[in-house]
Amino acid sequence: MASTGMQLLAATLCLLGWAGVIISCLLPMWRVTAFVGSTIVTSQTIWEGIWMTCVVQSTGQMSCKPYDSLLALSGDLQAARALTVLAIVTGGAGLLLAFIGGKCTRFLDEEDGGIKGKVALGAGGVLIATGLLCLIPTSWAAGAVVKKFYSASNDAQRREIGACIYIGWGASVLLILGGGLFISSACPLKPSETDKSPSVRYLVVRSSNGSSRVLSPTRGAVGEGPARRSVSPLPKLRGDIHKVSAAQEASLGRRARAWLQERVRKILGAINQISDEEAGVDKI
C-alpha cells in the first residue's frame, strides 16, 4: 500500500514536471530585457524565446515575430529547441509507461515474472532522462545569458534570465524526483518483513510416547540465495497426526474399560455384602 502511494506521488510530480517542460518550450521568455544603466529605454520590454521574439509596449500592446531562420539562432537556442521537444516526447512516453506499470491500474496484472514492476522501473528511467533533457538546455541558455550580460558593450543589448528557464529548472527537478520515486517503489531498498524471519525453520512433531523429532529444516535467509528445495513435510505431518490421534483414542479406550470394570467390581462386591447381611438377619 505504501508503494502504491509512492507511485501516485511520483506520477503527480512527473505530470507537473512534464507540464512545466511544455510551458517552458512554448513561452517566449527565455531572455528578457535587463533594466540597467541610464540609457535603457523602459517604454518597451523585449522577450526572447526559442521560437519567437516579442516586444511588449508600456501601453500593454504586444507584438511577436517568429525567427526567420534556424541557422541564424545561437547555438544554445538551437540546442534548446531540439532538446525540449525531445523532452516533451520522452516525458509523454514515460508517463504512459508509468500509467501501465502503476500498481493502481489493472494493466499487466495477469502477466508473470514481474513484468509490471519492470515497466514501472523503465518508466522511472525514462522520466529521469526527461528531466536531464530539460535541465541541459535551460542551464546552457542561462550560462549564455550570463556570459553575454557581462560581455555586452551597450546596456540595451543586455538580457537577463527569463521565467521559462526557472520553470524548466523546476520541471527538471520534479521529473528527476518523480522518476527516482518510481524506481524506489519498483525496487525497494529495504527487505520485506517476511525476509526478517530466522534463516532455519524446523517443524517439531511429538509422538505418543512423548519423544519429539525434527522434520525438514528449510533455509531462506536474506543474502543466502534461493531456498534449497525439499520435499514438503505436510503429508508426513498429517500421517503422524493421525497416528497420534489413533494411539490416544486407544489409550483412552483402555483406561475407560479398566475404570468401568473396577466400578462394576465394586458395585457387585457391595451387592454381595448387602445380600450376606440380609441372609444373616433372617437366620437370627
Residue 202 has φ and ψ, to the nearest 5°, of -125, 145
Domain boundaries, the chain: 2-191, 200-283
Q: Could you tell me if 32 and 160 are in contact, meaning their C-beta atoms sit under 8 angstroms apart? A: yes
| pLDDT in single tens digits along all 284 residues of the chain | 557 788 888 889 999 999 999 999 998 888 887 665 555 556 778 888 888 888 888 777 888 888 888 777 888 888 888 999 999 999 999 999 888 877 777 766 666 657 777 888 888 899 999 999 999 999 998 998 888 888 766 666 677 888 899 999 999 999 999 999 888 887 754 544 444 444 444 444 454 455 545 444 444 444 444 444 444 554 554 555 555 556 666 777 777 778 878 887 888 888 888 877 777 766 66
Q: What is the DSSP secondary structure assignment for residue 192, as one 8-state letter?
A: P
Q: How far apart are CA 54 and CA 224, in angstroms?
A: 65
Distances 234 to 229, 230, 237 between C-alpha atoms, Å: 14, 12, 5
Q: Which CATH number fits domain 2-191: 3.40.50.20, 1.20.140.150, 2.30.130.10, 1.10.1740.10?
A: 1.20.140.150
